[in-house]
């Protein structure tokens, strides 16, 4: 009987940690994949994006993102029916829906001005206990929350997922001195237990841990491969077999990260690290990237 009481108590604690409703703002590659993985955990997700003039459908970007999720390989969802848990919308008409959630995840462009503009909109509508986090991969939390209210700062943290979030276990969590510690604990526990994440708490430094190392590594590997006149296939084969990295290799990894995202991430990193940092002297963007963009 003691075992069953312990098990029931454990199940009760798990249910208490569960975020039933989450809003993800930004339906791009990362935002939609995070939304998909949240549905794998049983969450209902509101997926919001901007209104585009390319369609009369004001939810076009979010609707398209959900449609694409069903076709991505490897699949970001455990069951196709999980996509029924996603409600699409836009931040002009549907931002009030954030208060039906316990947690809002911002996954918009890696641009400080765009993120701050969104936070101001969220701040005017958010309920007192709404948790807000950013999926930024490089921007320090002190910059993200500059000029925001005490309530916003209290409820805010960084949750940096890696792509694809269903398969990559690492999650970087960054907090400030203003972040409520109970909020941090609940997010970490939820991501550990329900999302299967290996959570690392990182310091509030540009690029945190993963991108501080990873961006340098990706950039240098690509540059040296091109300088050696290696084909993409040859470079990826060498990287995979000698350095024992995932089967994507370096150029495959760039595809996953997003070729269009790489310049923004690199630029943000360069702006925020000290001028004396060695990365400034060795940074060399492959010309091929500009050509492909």
SS3 158: strand
| Mean pLDDT, rounded, of the chain | 90
The pair of structure tokens assigned to 52 is: 């585009």
Q: Which residue has the tokens 């491969």?
A: 225
Q: How far apart are CA 286 and CA 283, in angstroms?
A: 10
Q: How far apart are CA 94 and CA 175, in angstroms?
A: 28
- In this predicted model, which residue has the larger pLDDT, 108 or 226? 108
The pLDDT value given to residue 291: 58
Average the pLDDT over 54-78 and give the result: 96
pLDDT at 257: 72
DSSP 176: -
pTM of the model: 0.88
The answer to whether the bond into 164 is cis (omega within 30° of 0) is yes
Distances (CA, A) of 116 to 11, 24, 71, 123: 38, 16, 33, 10
Confidence of residue 145 (pLDDT cuts 50, 70, 90): very high
Confidence of residue 207 (pLDDT cuts 50, 70, 90): very high
Q: Which of 12-16, 68-72, 270-274 has the lowest mean pLDDT?
A: 12-16
48, 90 contact by CB (below 8 A)? yes
Per mean pLDDT, which range of 27-31, 221-225, 254-258 is the poorest? 254-258
Give the residue with greater pLDDT, 23 vs 282: 23
Q: How many helices (H) and strands (E) does the chain have?
A: 13, 8
pLDDT tier for residue 283 given thresholds of 50, 70 and 90:
confident
Average pLDDT for 235-247 = 79
Question: In whole angstroms, how far apart are CA 183 and each of 103, 156, 277?
Answer: 10, 9, 34
Q: Which of 20-29, 90-99, 170-179, 259-268 has the lowest mean pLDDT?
A: 259-268
As a whole-number percent, the residues of the chain with pLDDT over 90 amount to: 66
pLDDT above 80 (res 144) = yes
pLDDT (0 to 100) of residue 4: 44
Confirm if 53 and 96 have CB atoms less than 8 A apart: no
pLDDT (0 to 100) of residue 16: 55
pLDDT score at 64: 98
- Average of pLDDT values for 67-77? 95
- Give the pLDDT band of residue 221 (cuts 50, 70, 90): confident
Q: Per mean pLDDT, which range of 58-67, 150-159, 180-189, 241-250 is the poorest? A: 241-250
Res. 2 pLDDT band, cuts 50 70 90: very low
As a whole number, mean pLDDT of residues 211-215 equals 88
pLDDT recorded at residue 286: 67
- The number of residues making up the chain comes to 293
């Amino acid at each position: 009987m003691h075992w069953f009481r312990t098990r029931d108590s454990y199940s009760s604690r798990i249910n208490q940690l569960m975020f039933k409703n989450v809003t993800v703002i930004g339906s791009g590659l990362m935002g939609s994949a995070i939304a998909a993985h949240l549905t794998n955990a049983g969450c209902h997700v509101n997926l919001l994006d901007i209104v585009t003039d390319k369609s009369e459908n004001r939810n076009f970007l979010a609707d398209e993102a959900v449609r694409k999720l069903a076709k991505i390989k490897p699949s970001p969802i455990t069951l196709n029916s999980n996509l029924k848990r996603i409600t699409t919308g836009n931040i002009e008409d549907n931002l009030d829906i954030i208060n039906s959630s316990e947690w809002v995840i911002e996954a918009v462009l890696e641009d400080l001005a765009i993120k701050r503009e969104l936070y101001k909109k969220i701040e005017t509508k958010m309920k007192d206990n709404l948790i807000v986090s950013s999926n930024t991969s490089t921007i320090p939390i002190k910059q993200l929350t500059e000029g925001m209210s005490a309530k916003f700062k209290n409820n805010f943290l960084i949750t940096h997922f890696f792509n694809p979030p269903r398969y990559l276990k690492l999650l970087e969590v960054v907090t400030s001195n203003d972040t409520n510690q109970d909020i941090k604990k609940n997010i970490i526990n939820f991501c550990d237990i329900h999302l299967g994440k290996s959570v690392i708490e990182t310091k509030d430094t540009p690029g945190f841990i993963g991108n501080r190392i990873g961006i340098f590594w990706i950039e240098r590997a690509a540059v040296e491969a091109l300088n050696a006149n290696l084909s993409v296939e040859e470079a990826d084969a060498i990287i995979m077999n000698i350095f024992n990295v995932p089967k994507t290799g370096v150029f495959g990894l760039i595809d996953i990260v997003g070729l269009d995202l790489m310049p923004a991430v690199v630029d943000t990193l360069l702006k925020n690290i000290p001028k004396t940092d060695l990365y400034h002297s060795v940074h060399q963007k492959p010309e091929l990237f500009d050509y492909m963009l």
